[in-house]
Amino acid sequence: MDEKSAEIAALMAAANKAMGNMQARLDRLHWKRWFFPVTGFAVAGGKYAACIMGNTGVFVELSKADFDKAFEILSENI
């Protein structure tokens, strides 16, 4: 991945994590669920998904993705 693509991917991950945290806080206020803070998430579009855990992420092909395994490996790096 070139530097510009990596920068855009990082911005996308940060924006989605911020939105997830906002939604998790609202859920906590209204329904007393404890999804905050968001530590890992996936965002899919087209043929690929981005799996993010902490400050680390990977892109996976949706047709071949094993999300459980991806997050298991990512969780070892936080």
pLDDT at 39: 83
- The model carries a pTM of 0.78
Model pLDDT, residue 33: 63
- How many angstroms separate the CA atoms of 66 and 62, rounded? 8
Residues 14-68 pLDDT 10s: 898 888 888 887 766 666 666 677 888 899 989 999 999 988 999 999 999 999 9
Sheet containing strand 56-61, strands side by side: 40-45, 48-53, 56-61
Domain boundaries, the chain: 3-75
pLDDT at position 69 is 95
